[in-house]
Chains A and B, each alone.
Chain A
Amino acid sequence: MSGAEKIAVIVTDIVPLNDLVTRFEFKPTDGSLLPTFSGGAHTVVEMHAGDITRLNPYSLMSDPMDQTAYTISVRRDDEGRGGSLFMHRNVKVGDKMTISYPVNLFSLDLRAKKHLFLAGGIGITPFLAQIKQLERFNGNWELHYACRSESLGSYVDELRDHHPNETHIYYDDQEQRIDLVNLLDGQPLGTHVYVCGPKGMIDWVRQTAEAEGWPREAIHYEEFLAPQPGKPFEVKLAISNKVIAVGENESLLEAMEREGVDAPYLCRGGACGQCETRVIDYTGNFIHRDHWLEDDEHASGEKIMPCVSRFEGKTLVLDR
Protein backbone atom coordinates (compact mmCIF):
# COMPACT_ATOMS: atom_id res chain seq x y z
CA MET A 1 0.00 0.00 0.00
CA SER A 2 1.41 3.37 -1.04
CA GLY A 3 1.31 6.64 0.86
CA ALA A 4 1.50 7.21 4.58
CA GLU A 5 -0.42 4.97 7.02
CA LYS A 6 -4.15 5.63 7.34
CA ILE A 7 -6.28 6.72 10.28
CA ALA A 8 -10.05 6.15 10.48
CA VAL A 9 -11.66 9.33 11.80
CA ILE A 10 -15.04 10.86 12.43
CA VAL A 11 -15.91 14.46 11.57
CA THR A 12 -16.63 16.08 14.94
CA ASP A 13 -16.97 19.74 14.05
CA ILE A 14 -17.48 21.92 10.97
CA VAL A 15 -17.09 25.69 11.32
CA PRO A 16 -17.61 28.03 8.35
CA LEU A 17 -15.12 30.91 8.84
CA ASN A 18 -16.12 33.12 5.92
CA ASP A 19 -17.42 32.95 2.35
CA LEU A 20 -14.58 30.72 1.20
CA VAL A 21 -13.03 28.88 4.13
CA THR A 22 -14.46 26.18 6.40
CA ARG A 23 -12.72 24.40 9.25
CA PHE A 24 -13.10 20.65 9.86
CA GLU A 25 -12.21 18.75 13.00
CA PHE A 26 -11.42 15.02 12.99
CA LYS A 27 -11.21 12.57 15.89
CA PRO A 28 -10.26 8.88 15.70
CA THR A 29 -13.34 6.63 15.40
CA ASP A 30 -11.92 4.18 17.96
CA GLY A 31 -11.35 6.87 20.59
CA SER A 32 -7.57 6.43 20.57
CA LEU A 33 -5.02 9.23 20.50
CA LEU A 34 -3.72 10.67 17.25
CA PRO A 35 0.02 10.89 16.60
CA THR A 36 1.69 14.19 17.45
CA PHE A 37 3.19 15.97 14.48
CA SER A 38 5.44 18.89 13.67
CA GLY A 39 4.22 22.28 12.49
CA GLY A 40 3.91 22.45 8.71
CA ALA A 41 2.73 18.84 8.34
CA HIS A 42 -0.24 17.92 6.19
CA THR A 43 -2.66 15.02 6.12
CA VAL A 44 -4.11 13.45 2.98
CA VAL A 45 -7.92 13.30 3.19
CA GLU A 46 -9.73 10.57 1.23
CA MET A 47 -12.99 11.65 -0.40
CA HIS A 48 -15.32 9.17 -2.02
CA ALA A 49 -17.90 10.65 -4.37
CA GLY A 50 -19.57 7.94 -6.39
CA ASP A 51 -16.90 6.31 -8.55
CA ILE A 52 -14.41 9.06 -7.94
CA THR A 53 -11.87 8.88 -5.12
CA ARG A 54 -9.94 12.00 -4.34
CA LEU A 55 -6.97 12.21 -2.01
CA ASN A 56 -6.24 15.83 -1.21
CA PRO A 57 -3.49 17.10 1.11
CA TYR A 58 -4.41 19.74 3.70
CA SER A 59 -2.09 21.40 6.22
CA LEU A 60 -2.80 20.51 9.82
CA MET A 61 -3.48 23.71 11.74
CA SER A 62 -4.17 22.40 15.23
CA ASP A 63 -1.65 22.29 18.06
CA PRO A 64 0.96 19.65 17.03
CA MET A 65 0.98 18.28 20.58
CA ASP A 66 -2.83 17.94 20.77
CA GLN A 67 -3.50 14.24 20.23
CA THR A 68 -7.26 14.38 20.70
CA ALA A 69 -8.17 15.98 17.35
CA TYR A 70 -6.77 17.33 14.08
CA THR A 71 -8.17 20.39 12.36
CA ILE A 72 -7.79 21.54 8.77
CA SER A 73 -9.16 24.57 6.95
CA VAL A 74 -10.41 24.12 3.42
CA ARG A 75 -10.75 26.98 0.96
CA ARG A 76 -13.51 26.42 -1.55
CA ASP A 77 -12.15 26.37 -5.10
CA ASP A 78 -15.03 26.66 -7.56
CA GLU A 79 -12.70 26.14 -10.53
CA GLY A 80 -10.84 23.15 -9.09
CA ARG A 81 -11.49 19.46 -9.59
CA GLY A 82 -14.08 19.28 -6.88
CA GLY A 83 -12.20 18.14 -3.76
CA SER A 84 -12.77 21.33 -1.83
CA LEU A 85 -16.38 21.53 -3.08
CA PHE A 86 -16.92 17.99 -1.82
CA MET A 87 -15.59 18.95 1.60
CA HIS A 88 -17.80 22.05 1.70
CA ARG A 89 -21.01 20.48 0.35
CA ASN A 90 -21.00 16.78 1.17
CA VAL A 91 -19.17 16.35 4.46
CA LYS A 92 -21.33 16.48 7.57
CA VAL A 93 -20.63 16.22 11.30
CA GLY A 94 -20.63 12.52 12.23
CA ASP A 95 -19.32 11.35 8.84
CA LYS A 96 -16.65 8.65 8.87
CA MET A 97 -13.58 9.50 6.79
CA THR A 98 -10.05 8.24 6.23
CA ILE A 99 -7.04 10.51 6.60
CA SER A 100 -3.31 9.76 6.44
CA TYR A 101 -0.67 10.01 9.13
CA PRO A 102 0.89 13.47 9.14
CA VAL A 103 3.62 14.06 6.56
CA ASN A 104 5.81 17.16 6.82
CA LEU A 105 7.40 18.73 3.76
CA PHE A 106 7.44 22.23 5.27
CA SER A 107 9.00 21.83 8.69
CA LEU A 108 10.65 24.48 10.81
CA ASP A 109 14.43 24.60 10.76
CA LEU A 110 14.99 24.64 14.50
CA ARG A 111 18.55 25.89 14.06
CA ALA A 112 17.08 29.24 13.02
CA LYS A 113 17.57 32.17 15.42
CA LYS A 114 14.32 33.67 14.18
CA HIS A 115 11.43 32.45 12.01
CA LEU A 116 9.93 34.96 9.57
CA PHE A 117 6.56 33.74 8.27
CA LEU A 118 4.97 35.11 5.09
CA ALA A 119 1.45 33.88 4.38
CA GLY A 120 -0.93 34.56 1.53
CA GLY A 121 -4.62 33.68 1.95
CA ILE A 122 -5.25 30.06 2.92
CA GLY A 123 -1.45 29.67 3.08
CA ILE A 124 -1.85 30.73 6.72
CA THR A 125 -2.76 27.19 7.84
CA PRO A 126 0.69 25.54 8.25
CA PHE A 127 1.88 28.62 10.18
CA LEU A 128 -0.95 28.25 12.71
CA ALA A 129 0.54 24.88 13.75
CA GLN A 130 4.12 26.16 13.56
CA ILE A 131 3.26 29.14 15.76
CA LYS A 132 1.73 26.82 18.38
CA GLN A 133 4.87 24.65 18.21
CA LEU A 134 7.21 27.64 18.63
CA GLU A 135 5.18 29.17 21.45
CA ARG A 136 5.89 26.07 23.54
CA PHE A 137 9.53 27.02 23.85
CA ASN A 138 9.22 30.76 23.50
CA GLY A 139 10.50 30.74 19.91
CA ASN A 140 11.35 33.95 18.10
CA TRP A 141 8.94 34.47 15.22
CA GLU A 142 7.08 37.11 13.25
CA LEU A 143 4.13 36.73 10.86
CA HIS A 144 3.27 38.83 7.81
CA TYR A 145 -0.09 37.74 6.47
CA ALA A 146 -1.67 39.06 3.28
CA CYS A 147 -5.42 38.52 2.80
CA ARG A 148 -7.79 39.71 0.11
CA SER A 149 -10.07 41.61 2.47
CA GLU A 150 -11.11 41.85 6.11
CA SER A 151 -14.06 39.53 5.52
CA LEU A 152 -11.79 36.86 4.00
CA GLY A 153 -9.06 37.17 6.64
CA SER A 154 -9.19 33.69 8.16
CA TYR A 155 -7.83 33.60 11.73
CA VAL A 156 -6.80 37.26 11.68
CA ASP A 157 -8.69 38.04 14.90
CA GLU A 158 -7.30 35.01 16.73
CA LEU A 159 -3.74 35.81 15.66
CA ARG A 160 -4.05 39.48 16.63
CA ASP A 161 -5.58 38.63 19.99
CA HIS A 162 -3.00 36.03 20.96
CA HIS A 163 0.08 37.49 19.30
CA PRO A 164 -0.41 41.23 18.86
CA ASN A 165 3.29 42.01 18.62
CA GLU A 166 4.21 39.26 16.17
CA THR A 167 1.26 39.53 13.79
CA HIS A 168 1.18 41.92 10.83
CA ILE A 169 -1.85 41.87 8.52
CA TYR A 170 -2.10 43.26 4.98
CA TYR A 171 -5.43 43.63 3.12
CA ASP A 172 -5.21 43.60 -0.67
CA ASP A 173 -8.43 45.59 -1.10
CA GLN A 174 -6.99 48.36 1.09
CA GLU A 175 -3.86 48.51 -1.07
CA GLN A 176 -1.72 47.19 1.77
CA ARG A 177 1.37 45.31 0.57
CA ILE A 178 4.19 43.52 2.35
CA ASP A 179 7.25 45.78 1.97
CA LEU A 180 9.46 42.77 1.33
CA VAL A 181 12.86 44.32 0.62
CA ASN A 182 12.63 46.46 3.75
CA LEU A 183 11.34 43.54 5.76
CA LEU A 184 14.23 41.27 4.73
CA ASP A 185 16.82 44.01 5.19
CA GLY A 186 18.15 44.08 8.72
CA GLN A 187 16.78 40.73 9.90
CA PRO A 188 19.24 39.24 12.41
CA LEU A 189 21.76 36.69 11.15
CA GLY A 190 20.26 33.22 11.44
CA THR A 191 16.74 34.28 10.41
CA HIS A 192 14.87 31.79 8.20
CA VAL A 193 12.04 32.93 5.97
CA TYR A 194 9.02 30.70 5.27
CA VAL A 195 6.43 31.43 2.62
CA CYS A 196 3.14 29.70 1.90
CA GLY A 197 0.58 31.09 -0.50
CA PRO A 198 -0.09 31.53 -4.22
CA LYS A 199 2.67 30.69 -6.68
CA GLY A 200 3.32 34.34 -7.55
CA MET A 201 3.94 35.19 -3.90
CA ILE A 202 6.27 32.24 -3.40
CA ASP A 203 8.32 33.13 -6.48
CA TRP A 204 8.47 36.78 -5.40
CA VAL A 205 9.74 35.91 -1.91
CA ARG A 206 12.26 33.34 -3.12
CA GLN A 207 13.68 35.62 -5.80
CA THR A 208 13.81 38.70 -3.58
CA ALA A 209 15.45 36.87 -0.69
CA GLU A 210 18.06 35.27 -2.94
CA ALA A 211 18.81 38.64 -4.57
CA GLU A 212 19.33 40.10 -1.08
CA GLY A 213 21.94 37.44 -0.35
CA TRP A 214 19.84 35.08 1.79
CA PRO A 215 21.17 31.52 1.61
CA ARG A 216 18.85 29.04 -0.10
CA GLU A 217 18.93 26.90 3.04
CA ALA A 218 17.22 29.75 4.92
CA ILE A 219 14.33 30.09 2.44
CA HIS A 220 11.46 27.63 2.90
CA TYR A 221 8.28 27.45 0.87
CA GLU A 222 5.19 25.37 0.42
CA GLU A 223 2.83 25.81 -2.46
CA PHE A 224 -0.63 24.35 -2.47
CA LEU A 225 -0.47 22.58 -5.78
CA ALA A 226 -3.62 20.73 -6.75
CA PRO A 227 -3.73 18.67 -9.92
CA GLN A 228 -5.38 20.72 -12.63
CA PRO A 229 -8.05 19.34 -14.95
CA GLY A 230 -6.97 18.75 -18.53
CA LYS A 231 -7.70 16.87 -21.71
CA PRO A 232 -8.24 13.12 -21.27
CA PHE A 233 -5.33 10.92 -22.39
CA GLU A 234 -4.32 7.27 -22.52
CA VAL A 235 -1.33 5.68 -20.82
CA LYS A 236 0.21 2.25 -21.15
CA LEU A 237 1.61 0.93 -17.87
CA ALA A 238 4.37 -1.48 -18.85
CA ILE A 239 4.87 -3.36 -15.58
CA SER A 240 1.15 -3.68 -14.78
CA ASN A 241 0.48 -4.46 -18.46
CA LYS A 242 -2.54 -2.19 -18.60
CA VAL A 243 -3.75 0.60 -20.82
CA ILE A 244 -5.68 3.14 -18.77
CA ALA A 245 -7.60 6.28 -19.63
CA VAL A 246 -6.99 9.41 -17.58
CA GLY A 247 -10.16 11.47 -17.39
CA GLU A 248 -10.52 15.21 -17.59
CA ASN A 249 -10.99 15.72 -13.85
CA GLU A 250 -8.58 13.19 -12.43
CA SER A 251 -4.83 13.07 -12.21
CA LEU A 252 -2.67 10.38 -13.75
CA LEU A 253 -1.94 9.10 -10.24
CA GLU A 254 -5.65 8.91 -9.41
CA ALA A 255 -6.36 7.07 -12.66
CA MET A 256 -3.69 4.49 -11.82
CA GLU A 257 -5.16 4.04 -8.35
CA ARG A 258 -8.66 3.67 -9.80
CA GLU A 259 -7.35 0.82 -11.95
CA GLY A 260 -5.87 -0.90 -8.93
CA VAL A 261 -2.23 -0.04 -9.66
CA ASP A 262 -0.28 0.51 -6.44
CA ALA A 263 1.64 3.64 -7.39
CA PRO A 264 3.84 5.34 -4.78
CA TYR A 265 2.90 8.81 -3.47
CA LEU A 266 3.19 10.99 -0.44
CA CYS A 267 2.30 14.66 -0.94
CA ARG A 268 0.13 14.44 -4.05
CA GLY A 269 1.17 18.01 -4.76
CA GLY A 270 4.29 17.79 -6.91
CA ALA A 271 6.71 18.49 -4.08
CA CYS A 272 7.98 15.36 -2.37
CA GLY A 273 9.31 13.30 -5.28
CA GLN A 274 7.81 10.05 -4.10
CA CYS A 275 5.73 9.33 -7.23
CA GLU A 276 8.53 9.98 -9.76
CA THR A 277 7.97 7.62 -12.68
CA ARG A 278 10.22 6.68 -15.59
CA VAL A 279 8.88 7.24 -19.10
CA ILE A 280 9.64 4.34 -21.45
CA ASP A 281 8.21 5.77 -24.66
CA TYR A 282 6.13 8.73 -25.77
CA THR A 283 4.86 10.64 -28.77
CA GLY A 284 3.42 13.98 -27.75
CA ASN A 285 3.95 16.67 -25.13
CA PHE A 286 4.24 16.56 -21.37
CA ILE A 287 2.48 19.13 -19.21
CA HIS A 288 4.87 19.16 -16.28
CA ARG A 289 3.53 20.98 -13.22
CA ASP A 290 5.68 19.66 -10.36
CA HIS A 291 8.40 21.38 -8.31
CA TRP A 292 10.40 18.20 -7.99
CA LEU A 293 12.12 17.59 -11.32
CA GLU A 294 14.77 19.97 -12.64
CA ASP A 295 14.13 21.88 -15.86
CA ASP A 296 16.45 19.61 -17.84
CA GLU A 297 14.60 16.56 -16.51
CA HIS A 298 11.32 18.09 -17.65
CA ALA A 299 12.80 18.68 -21.09
CA SER A 300 14.32 15.20 -21.32
CA GLY A 301 10.99 13.37 -21.57
CA GLU A 302 12.39 10.64 -19.32
CA LYS A 303 10.42 11.30 -16.13
CA ILE A 304 6.97 12.40 -15.02
CA MET A 305 5.34 13.14 -11.65
CA PRO A 306 1.88 11.53 -12.02
CA CYS A 307 0.35 13.40 -9.07
CA VAL A 308 0.14 16.75 -10.89
CA SER A 309 1.57 16.40 -14.40
CA ARG A 310 -0.34 15.46 -17.54
CA PHE A 311 0.27 14.47 -21.13
CA GLU A 312 -1.13 15.43 -24.51
CA GLY A 313 -0.37 13.24 -27.49
CA LYS A 314 -0.57 9.87 -29.10
CA THR A 315 1.29 7.39 -26.91
CA LEU A 316 2.73 7.38 -23.43
CA VAL A 317 4.33 4.29 -21.90
CA LEU A 318 5.33 4.38 -18.23
CA ASP A 319 7.54 2.08 -16.18
CA ARG A 320 4.87 1.29 -13.62
Chain B
Amino acid sequence: MSQFTFPPSIRSRPVYGTLTPRAGSAHLFIADAEGAEAIIAMATPEIMAKGHIIYIAKGTDYEVQLRALNPASFYAGPSYGAAEQRIHKTLADAKMGLQVYLTGTEGLIGQAQNAAMQAGVPHTAIQTEHRGSTARRMQCVHCKGITEDVETDPFVCSHCGLNLFVRDHYSRRLAAYQGVCIDAEDPGTVPAPKGIYE
Protein backbone atom coordinates (compact mmCIF):
# COMPACT_ATOMS: atom_id res chain seq x y z
CA MET B 1 0.00 0.00 0.00
CA SER B 2 1.62 3.23 -1.13
CA GLN B 3 -0.79 5.66 0.59
CA PHE B 4 -0.38 7.00 4.12
CA THR B 5 -2.61 9.32 6.11
CA PHE B 6 -0.46 11.91 7.84
CA PRO B 7 -1.61 12.91 11.32
CA PRO B 8 -2.97 16.46 11.71
CA SER B 9 -0.22 18.98 12.41
CA ILE B 10 0.77 22.64 12.42
CA ARG B 11 -0.07 24.91 9.47
CA SER B 12 3.51 24.88 8.28
CA ARG B 13 3.31 21.20 7.41
CA PRO B 14 2.53 20.57 3.74
CA VAL B 15 -0.70 18.74 2.91
CA TYR B 16 -1.09 16.64 -0.21
CA GLY B 17 -4.05 15.93 -2.42
CA THR B 18 -4.98 13.50 -5.16
CA LEU B 19 -3.82 14.11 -8.72
CA THR B 20 -6.73 15.10 -10.95
CA PRO B 21 -6.59 15.79 -14.71
CA ARG B 22 -6.93 19.49 -15.54
CA ALA B 23 -7.29 21.34 -18.82
CA GLY B 24 -3.90 22.35 -20.12
CA SER B 25 -1.62 22.73 -23.12
CA ALA B 26 0.90 20.24 -21.66
CA HIS B 27 1.16 18.06 -18.57
CA LEU B 28 4.42 17.63 -16.67
CA PHE B 29 4.69 14.76 -14.20
CA ILE B 30 7.64 14.58 -11.85
CA ALA B 31 7.57 11.48 -9.66
CA ASP B 32 9.69 9.07 -7.70
CA ALA B 33 9.21 5.45 -6.59
CA GLU B 34 5.55 4.64 -5.74
CA GLY B 35 4.49 8.01 -7.16
CA ALA B 36 4.20 5.98 -10.37
CA GLU B 37 1.00 4.48 -8.96
CA ALA B 38 -0.63 7.92 -8.69
CA ILE B 39 0.22 8.68 -12.33
CA ILE B 40 -1.13 5.32 -13.47
CA ALA B 41 -4.32 5.91 -11.44
CA MET B 42 -5.15 9.22 -13.13
CA ALA B 43 -3.62 8.87 -16.60
CA THR B 44 -5.88 9.12 -19.65
CA PRO B 45 -4.80 8.82 -23.30
CA GLU B 46 -5.71 12.51 -23.82
CA ILE B 47 -3.52 13.66 -20.94
CA MET B 48 -0.63 11.40 -21.94
CA ALA B 49 -0.71 12.60 -25.56
CA LYS B 50 0.57 15.91 -24.11
CA GLY B 51 2.17 14.30 -21.05
CA HIS B 52 5.83 14.40 -20.06
CA ILE B 53 7.10 12.14 -17.28
CA ILE B 54 10.32 12.64 -15.37
CA TYR B 55 10.71 9.65 -13.11
CA ILE B 56 13.18 8.54 -10.45
CA ALA B 57 12.67 4.84 -9.72
CA LYS B 58 14.58 4.65 -6.42
CA GLY B 59 14.85 0.86 -6.77
CA THR B 60 11.20 0.25 -7.64
CA ASP B 61 9.92 -1.47 -10.74
CA TYR B 62 7.26 0.72 -12.36
CA GLU B 63 9.11 1.94 -15.44
CA VAL B 64 7.52 -0.52 -17.87
CA GLN B 65 4.03 0.41 -16.68
CA LEU B 66 4.74 4.12 -17.01
CA ARG B 67 6.13 3.73 -20.52
CA ALA B 68 2.98 1.76 -21.41
CA LEU B 69 0.94 4.91 -20.76
CA ASN B 70 2.53 6.28 -23.98
CA PRO B 71 3.49 9.74 -22.71
CA ALA B 72 4.78 12.25 -25.25
CA SER B 73 8.14 12.00 -23.51
CA PHE B 74 9.57 9.79 -20.78
CA TYR B 75 12.79 10.14 -18.82
CA ALA B 76 13.98 7.88 -16.04
CA GLY B 77 16.90 9.05 -13.92
CA PRO B 78 18.84 7.52 -11.04
CA SER B 79 18.33 10.39 -8.58
CA TYR B 80 16.66 13.77 -8.21
CA GLY B 81 20.05 15.40 -8.53
CA ALA B 82 20.62 13.64 -11.85
CA ALA B 83 17.19 14.73 -13.13
CA GLU B 84 17.48 18.30 -11.91
CA GLN B 85 19.04 19.81 -15.05
CA ARG B 86 16.29 18.27 -17.13
CA ILE B 87 13.59 19.55 -14.77
CA HIS B 88 14.93 23.10 -14.91
CA LYS B 89 15.32 23.01 -18.69
CA THR B 90 11.81 21.59 -19.15
CA LEU B 91 10.30 24.32 -16.97
CA ALA B 92 12.37 27.07 -18.58
CA ASP B 93 11.06 26.07 -22.03
CA ALA B 94 7.46 25.59 -20.86
CA LYS B 95 4.54 27.82 -21.82
CA MET B 96 1.49 28.96 -19.90
CA GLY B 97 -1.17 26.29 -19.84
CA LEU B 98 1.33 23.74 -18.52
CA GLN B 99 -0.09 21.67 -15.66
CA VAL B 100 2.35 20.38 -13.07
CA TYR B 101 1.74 17.11 -11.20
CA LEU B 102 4.17 15.98 -8.49
CA THR B 103 3.94 12.64 -6.73
CA GLY B 104 6.01 10.30 -4.61
CA THR B 105 8.05 11.12 -1.52
CA GLU B 106 7.92 14.43 0.30
CA GLY B 107 11.52 15.20 -0.66
CA LEU B 108 10.77 14.80 -4.37
CA ILE B 109 7.52 16.77 -4.18
CA GLY B 110 9.15 19.60 -2.22
CA GLN B 111 12.17 19.97 -4.48
CA ALA B 112 10.15 19.77 -7.70
CA GLN B 113 7.60 22.23 -6.28
CA ASN B 114 10.45 24.60 -5.54
CA ALA B 115 11.74 24.29 -9.11
CA ALA B 116 8.25 24.91 -10.54
CA MET B 117 7.71 27.92 -8.25
CA GLN B 118 11.00 29.43 -9.35
CA ALA B 119 9.91 28.95 -12.94
CA GLY B 120 6.81 31.03 -12.19
CA VAL B 121 4.11 28.46 -11.37
CA PRO B 122 2.09 29.62 -8.32
CA HIS B 123 2.58 27.00 -5.63
CA THR B 124 -1.18 26.75 -5.13
CA ALA B 125 -1.58 25.77 -8.79
CA ILE B 126 0.76 22.77 -8.47
CA GLN B 127 -0.94 19.43 -7.83
CA THR B 128 0.72 17.04 -5.42
CA GLU B 129 0.01 13.53 -4.15
CA HIS B 130 2.10 11.73 -1.58
CA ARG B 131 2.92 8.09 -2.28
CA GLY B 132 5.38 5.61 -0.84
CA SER B 133 8.01 6.30 1.81
CA THR B 134 7.18 8.81 4.55
CA ALA B 135 10.86 9.67 4.94
CA ARG B 136 11.64 13.38 5.10
CA ARG B 137 14.18 15.75 3.65
CA MET B 138 15.61 17.56 6.69
CA GLN B 139 17.68 20.69 7.10
CA CYS B 140 19.94 20.99 10.15
CA VAL B 141 19.26 24.48 11.52
CA HIS B 142 22.78 24.56 12.96
CA CYS B 143 25.03 23.70 10.00
CA LYS B 144 22.32 24.18 7.30
CA GLY B 145 23.23 20.82 5.75
CA ILE B 146 20.47 18.73 4.17
CA THR B 147 19.96 15.09 5.13
CA GLU B 148 17.78 13.17 2.68
CA ASP B 149 15.36 10.34 3.43
CA VAL B 150 15.22 10.69 7.22
CA GLU B 151 13.01 7.96 8.70
CA THR B 152 13.69 8.24 12.43
CA ASP B 153 13.33 10.86 15.13
CA PRO B 154 15.82 11.88 16.42
CA PHE B 155 18.47 11.37 13.76
CA VAL B 156 22.12 12.29 13.28
CA CYS B 157 22.90 15.19 10.91
CA SER B 158 24.85 13.75 7.99
CA HIS B 159 26.96 16.92 7.85
CA CYS B 160 27.82 18.07 11.39
CA GLY B 161 26.88 14.98 13.42
CA LEU B 162 24.52 16.71 15.86
CA ASN B 163 21.54 14.74 17.18
CA LEU B 164 18.50 16.39 15.61
CA PHE B 165 14.84 16.44 16.60
CA VAL B 166 12.47 16.15 13.59
CA ARG B 167 10.07 19.09 13.51
CA ASP B 168 6.92 19.61 11.39
CA HIS B 169 8.12 23.15 10.66
CA TYR B 170 8.62 23.20 6.88
CA SER B 171 10.27 25.57 4.41
CA ARG B 172 8.99 25.74 0.82
CA ARG B 173 12.10 27.70 -0.11
CA LEU B 174 14.43 24.97 1.15
CA ALA B 175 12.03 22.11 0.41
CA ALA B 176 12.94 20.69 3.81
CA TYR B 177 11.73 20.23 7.37
CA GLN B 178 13.62 21.72 10.27
CA GLY B 179 15.94 19.58 12.40
CA VAL B 180 16.91 21.03 15.79
CA CYS B 181 19.59 19.77 18.21
CA ILE B 182 17.85 17.62 20.80
CA ASP B 183 20.62 17.41 23.42
CA ALA B 184 22.00 20.94 23.49
CA GLU B 185 21.41 21.40 27.24
CA ASP B 186 22.61 17.97 28.25
CA PRO B 187 24.96 16.64 25.54
CA GLY B 188 24.69 12.92 25.09
CA THR B 189 21.20 12.56 26.59
CA VAL B 190 19.41 11.45 23.43
CA PRO B 191 16.12 9.51 23.37
CA ALA B 192 16.17 6.23 21.46
CA PRO B 193 15.33 6.89 17.77
CA LYS B 194 11.89 5.70 16.62
CA GLY B 195 9.89 6.06 13.42
CA ILE B 196 8.67 9.62 12.81
CA TYR B 197 5.00 8.58 12.94
CA GLU B 198 5.35 5.95 15.72
Contact = CB atoms under 8 A, between A and B. Distances in A.
B91 interface: yes
Nearest to B126: A215
Interface residues of B, number: 18
B125 interface: yes
Question: Among the interface residues A184, A186, A188, which one has the most CB atoms of the partner chain B within 10 A?
Answer: A188
B23 A211 contact: yes
B97 A184 contact: yes
Contacts of B97: 184-185, 212-214
B69 interface: no
A112 interface: yes
Given A189-B94, A189-B98, A215 B23 contact: no
Given A185-B95, A185-B97, A188-B96, A218 B25 contact: no
B120 A191 contact: yes
B24 interface: yes
Contacts, number: 61
Which of under 10, 10 to 19, 20 to 34, or 35 or more describes the interface residues of A? 20 to 34
Interface in B54-105: 91-92, 94-99
Given A189-B95, A212-B97, A214-B97, A111 B22 contact: no
Nearest to A211: B23
Q: Looking at chain B's contact residues, is the secondary structure mostly helix, strand, loop, or mixed?
A: loop
Question: Among the interface residues B119, B122, B124, B125, which one has the most CB atoms of the partner chain A within 10 A?
Answer: B122
B124 A217 contact: yes
A186 B26 CA distance: 11
A187 interface: yes
A212 B125 contact: no
A217 B126 CA distance: 11
B121 interface: yes
Contact of A111 (B91, B95, B120): B120
Nearest to B95: A186
Contacts of A314: none
A218 B126 CA distance: 12
Contacts of A214: 96-97
A113 interface: yes
A185 B99 CA distance: 14
A313 interface: no
Contacts of B124: 215, 217
A94 interface: no
A112 B25 contact: no
Contact of A212 (B25, B92, B120): B25
B121 A215 contact: yes
A188 B98 CA distance: 10
Contacts of B96: 184, 186-191, 212-214, 218
Interface string A109-123: 001110000000000
Contacts of A213: 22-25, 96-99
Contacts of A199: none
Contacts of B121: 189-190, 215
A184 to B, nearest CB: 7
A112 B119 CA distance: 9
Question: Among the interface residues A111, A112, A189, A214, which one has the most CB atoms of the partner chain B within 10 A?
Answer: A189
A160 interface: no
A216 interface: yes
Interface string B98-139: 110000000000000000000111101100000000000000
Nearest to A114: B120
A236 B23 CA distance: 48
Q: Which 8 A-B pairs have the closest CB atoms?
A: A190-B120, A215-B125, A213-B24, A217-B122, A213-B97, A189-B94, A187-B96, A113-B120
Interface of A: 111-113, 184-191, 210-218
Interface of B: 22-25, 91-92, 94-99, 119-122, 124-125
Given A188-B96, A189-B95, A212-B24, 20 more contacts: A111-B122, A113-B119, A185-B25, A187-B95, A189-B92, A189-B94, A189-B96, A189-B98, A189-B119, A189-B120, A189-B121, A190-B96, A190-B121, A212-B25, A213-B23, A213-B24, A213-B99, A214-B97, A217-B124, A218-B122
30 contacts: A111-B120, A111-B122, A113-B119, A113-B120, A184-B97, A185-B97, A186-B96, A187-B96, A188-B94, A188-B95, A188-B96, A188-B120, A189-B121, A190-B119, A190-B121, A191-B120, A210-B23, A211-B23, A212-B23, A212-B25, A213-B22, A213-B24, A213-B96, A215-B124, A215-B125, A216-B125, A217-B122, A217-B124, A217-B125, A218-B96
